[in-house]
Copies of this chain bind each other. A is one copy, B any other.
């Protein structure tokens, strides 16, 4: 059973929490905690070896923690996700395969695409696919997505190479639940054609970043980042290909961390308790 706690820091928190668990005869299998001294914030993830009544345990914890504490007991119940895509298959296929073999740590409810070329792979895995073309009317486009999303129970939106910029209004409604994979380079290249810019600049590394989407877009809290080496022999196309491999790996890693309840968000950053 997993317990995650995020609250204001004060002396004695670990003592109070562990004493409560000890009184309930719960053995702690693993416990990671972090304190942001500057912000006076406390973060903890505990795994215990017993199955307690979740609601009761949560209430007991709330009572011994500072006001405003965020406490989740047993969030390990299967998460539900909706995936947004455009044309590129690599991240989606990885998610569909893990979903099919029950190793994703979440259950894919449906896929929404603004192109229809990924419909077939979804159907092969019996996942509903909704094709919502973007015809220049952003408001109508987002409303159509919202109508579909509203039909499902879900915990996270995953932008698996969804190449449309979402409006702050749209994102605002899903705050902290939207996860994106970004083709970010070293140094980071803003604007269009990042791979061409990277090529022109002769970078020796290609990177990718998985992050929560806030209404600032591309600026949300970072969950995971990785890189692979590049060199002069890579054409722009080679860099795009290599980028896809690293994007797939980084998004997979970030989703695993999120679905395992290891990622805490505050201000514009994350604490990842591995």
- Which residues of A are interface residues toward B (Cβ below 8 A)? 9, 11-12, 14-16, 18-22, 25-37, 89, 93-94, 97, 100-101, 121, 124-125, 184, 186-188, 200-205, 207, 209, 221-227, 231-233, 245, 249, 252, 267-272, 274
State in angstroms the CA–CA spacing of A271 and B232 once bound together: 5
A202-B15 contact, Cβ under 8 Å, with A28-B35, A184-B186, A187-B184:
no
Cβ–Cβ < 8 Å partners of A226 in chain B: 205
Q: Which residue of B lies closest to A37 (CB)?
A: B29
Judge whether B18 and A15 touch: CB under 8 Å.
Answer: yes
Cβ–Cβ < 8 Å partners of A26 in chain B: 11
A232-B270 contact, Cβ under 8 Å, with A202-B222, A209-B186:
yes
A250 CB to closest chain B CB, in angstroms? 10
A202-B11 contact, Cβ under 8 Å, with A34-B30, A186-B227, A188-B188:
no
Give the oligomeric copy count.
4
Q: Which residue of B lies closest to A190 (CB)?
A: B187
Q: Which of B15, B186, B223 contacts A225 (CB 8 A)?
A: B186
Q: Which of B34, B222, B252 contacts A233 (CB 8 A)?
A: B34
Cβ–Cβ < 8 Å partners of A249 in chain B: 245, 249
Give me the 7 closest cross-chain CB pairs, A-B, nearest first: A202-B269, A187-B188, A15-B18, A12-B22, A14-B18, A15-B19, A15-B22
The 14 listed contacts between A and B (C-beta, < 8 Å) are A12-B19, A12-B22, A14-B14, A14-B22, A28-B35, A34-B232, A93-B101, A124-B125, A186-B207, A188-B188, A202-B269, A204-B272, A205-B227, A249-B249
Judge whether A272 and B231 touch: CB under 8 Å.
Answer: yes
Q: Which residue of B lies closest to A184 (CB)?
A: B187
Cβ–Cβ < 8 Å partners of A274 in chain B: 233
Q: Which residue of B lies closest to A252 (CB)?
A: B245
Cβ–Cβ < 8 Å partners of A125 in chain B: 124
Q: Which residue of B lies closest to A187 (CB)?
A: B188
A89 CB to closest chain B CB, in angstroms? 5
Judge whether A204 and B224 touch: CB under 8 Å.
Answer: yes
Q: Which residue of B lies closest to A188 (CB)?
A: B187
